Amino acid sequence: MADSAVRATVEGAVLEITLDRPKANAIDAATSRELSRLFATFRDDPDLRVAILTGAGDRFFCAGWDLNAAAAGEEFEADYGEGGFGGFGELRGLLKPVIAAVNGMAVGGGFEIVLAADLAVAADHARFWLPEASLGIVPDTASVRLPRMLPFAMANEVLYAGRRLDAAEALRWGLVNAVADGADLMAEARALAARVVGAAPLSVDAIGQIRDRTRHLRLDQAFELLRSGELAAYEAVLASADAVEGPKAFNEGRTPRWQGR
């Protein structure tokens, strides 16, 4: 739909999603549910391997929760769809990578979307911060994720005091994978997506499942789960034709022909 707040295009195995809600690409509940539907489609379509999420324009990636909607009565705990706020951060069964292409400011829930992504590329003018505490609300998912991603004191300064990080700092702290000139942002994101598409699809799924199912466990517990046979995606790789094809292609000096089985 021409007037949709979200645009989606498919390029080969890559789903590109653009958030387009002038002036700041803020997200209300209806937009979040639309994003959830798109990411559920991405999850369930075997021909799609990677998703790239970006914002329209060059000023805002996403300003987070739409405070105009909040002022109009939308509750903080509204129905944001199956994937939670932003469409994918809480989407069950999503093992495929999502790349955030951060074209501008990522504020509040917009920053939380970046933290939920598997990979991120930022324009050199991008900025990241969490103003929620100064607004009387809580950056709930960031309060879970950020202390696992930044040193404790730095995470607390961002969460409690709203410290702003520029793109270079985000790269230095490992919150993004690369920084690009704004004009080159999507080319950088697409190049990263192409590298993932070149990997074996079952291997990518298994890595996602192992990471998500073991991140909260002690090392011995993680290895116990890994060897238990309970991780279906991992077991599928071990028994796959692709696990034979990869080493064979390497020895023959050719590009693997992945079958996804």
pLDDT tier, 74 (very low <50, low <70, confident <90, very high otherwise):
low
Phi, psi of 89 (to 5 degrees): -60, -25
Amino acid code (one letter) for 44 = D
pTM of the model: 0.93
The helix or strand, by DSSP H or E, that contains position 26, with its residue range, turns out to be none
Catalytic position from the list 132, 188, 224, 245: 132
Strand bridging mode 14-19 / 6-11: antiparallel
pLDDT tier, 77 (very low <50, low <70, confident <90, very high otherwise):
confident
Q: Which superfamily does 6-197 belong to?
A: 2-enoyl-CoA Hydratase; Chain A, domain 1 (3.90.226.10)
CB-based contacts of 217: which residues, under 8 Å, 6+ apart?
Answer: 225
| Angstrom distances, CA of residue 145 to CA of 29, 39, 126, 156, 158 | 22, 20, 20, 12, 12
Displacement of CA 163 from its chain's centroid (Å): 22
Catalytic position from the list 112, 224, 230, 245: 112
pLDDT confidence of residue 13 = 97
CB 31 within 8 A of CB 62: no
Q: What average pLDDT score do residues 85-92 get?
A: 94
pLDDT confidence of residue 98 = 98
Strand partners, 214: none
CB-based contacts of 152: which residues, under 8 Å, 6+ apart?
Answer: none
Q: What is the dihedral of CA 91, 76, 79, 62, to 10 degrees?
A: -60
Question: Coil, helix or strand for 10?
Answer: strand
With a cut of 60, say whether residue 1 has pLDDT above it.
no
- The better pLDDT of the pair 229, 72 is held by 229
pLDDT confidence of residue 126 = 98
pLDDT confidence of residue 131 = 95
- Look up 132 and say whether it is catalytic: yes
